[in-house]
Amino acid sequence: MKKNPITLVIISLFALIFAMGCQENSNIESLDLMTAEDDMIADAAMEDVFSEVDGVMNLMDQFGYETSALKSAVVLDTCPVISIISEPGSFWPRTVVVDYGDGCDVSHFNSDRARIRKGKILIKVSGPMWIEGSYREVTFEDFSINDFEVEGRRTVTNEGEWVEGEYSGKLYFSVILDGGTITTPEGKVISKDVNRTRTFVEGQDTKWDTRDDIWHINGVATGVNRHGLAFSREITSPLWKEIGCRFITKGTVLIQVEGRPEVVLDYGDGTCDPLATITIEGETENVRLRKW
């Protein structure tokens, strides 16, 4: 079995990554694997950031976006430093600043590799996110993860409840990422714009306890890989994101590059495990997805 050298780099750097064993007689070309990998690199970095944002904002929702109330729940004078900015004469909108300064090691206690965040995450909130129409806009200021620079503007809006179809009565959010880019320490750029919906299929009634949350994710994305090749990404069956599991547990994604064969990424049957597959022109490779 041979290891793709690009995969080895990703293993050392990202939260969601490929560990691929390619057979010597494989017809799957490295360029097609690289496009899939770059798509996942962008998703991994953005997921790392926005999982942190969701954690911070859940606290904010509970404690009313007041710094004085937050002091009993979080430490504000260590790394990162969290502050709240409001406009004169009005409570909303509010901007939450998560400042990692020159670097915070935010590795999990059981991690054997450092995860260093630098710079600032800026989160503008129009109102409590449980109210229909409220939105949350995330931008960055000199922000990086392990020296991979992250840029873009992500807007999440509470769209209310679906009124028909299989999700009728379920709360859903639109997720728009504009100008999303990941710049590697070597100066290679991966870009990605996203238009998705996230539907609360379970856990909606226990909003302060996220442990039972299950989201179904649908939508499309476009991007450019590190070699300047444009690609598109369409979720062809909903991705299942269970808060109790660190992996996507189910769903399929179609990745297309002009002039190249289609790539199908399949996350499996719903089991919480790091196993998935990639299929190109009828040939399938096993994929192992890992966290930091």
pLDDT at site 226 = 83
**CA gap 158, 173 in Å, rounded:** 5
> For residues 54 and 19, which has the higher predicted lDDT (pLDDT)?
54
Chain mean position to CA 195: 13
**What are 175-232's pLDDT values in tens digits?**
999 999 999 899 989 999 999 999 998 877 776 666 678 899 999 999 998 888 899 9
Question: What integer is the mean pLDDT of 251-277?
Answer: 89
Return all residues near 25 (Cβ < 8 A) that are at least 6 apart.
none
Contact 269, 250 (CB under 8 A): yes
88 pLDDT higher than 90: no
**CA gap 16, 256 in Å, rounded:** 20
72 pLDDT higher than 50: no
112 pLDDT higher than 80: no
**CA gap 161, 173 in Å, rounded:** 9
2 pLDDT higher than 70: no
Give 256: exposed, middle or buried? Use CB within 10 Å, 0-12, 13-18, 19+: middle
Return all residues near 287 (Cβ < 8 A) that are at least 6 apart.
18, 19, 20, 265, 275, 276, 277, 278
Question: 224-227 — which CB contacts under 8 Å span 24+ positions?
Answer: 224/189, 224/190, 224/191, 225/34, 225/35, 225/38, 225/39, 225/190, 225/257, 226/34, 226/38, 226/184, 226/188, 226/189, 226/190, 227/31, 227/34
pLDDT at site 70 = 54
**CA gap 85, 134 in Å, rounded:** 18
* Secondary structure (3-state) at 63: helix
Question: What integer is the mean pLDDT of 21-27?
Answer: 40
Lowest mean pLDDT among 73-77, 128-132, 137-141, 210-214: 73-77
Which sign, positive or negative, has the C-alpha torsion 74, 76, 78, 79?
positive
With vertex at residue 7, the alpha carbon angle to CA 281 and CA 269, rounded to the nearest 5 degrees, is: 55
**CA gap 80, 184 in Å, rounded:** 23
Contact 21, 1 (CB under 8 A): yes
Contact 236, 254 (CB under 8 A): yes
Q: What is the model's pTM? A: 0.80
Domain definitions of the chain by residue range: 2-245
Give first-to-last CA distance, the chain, whole Å: 24
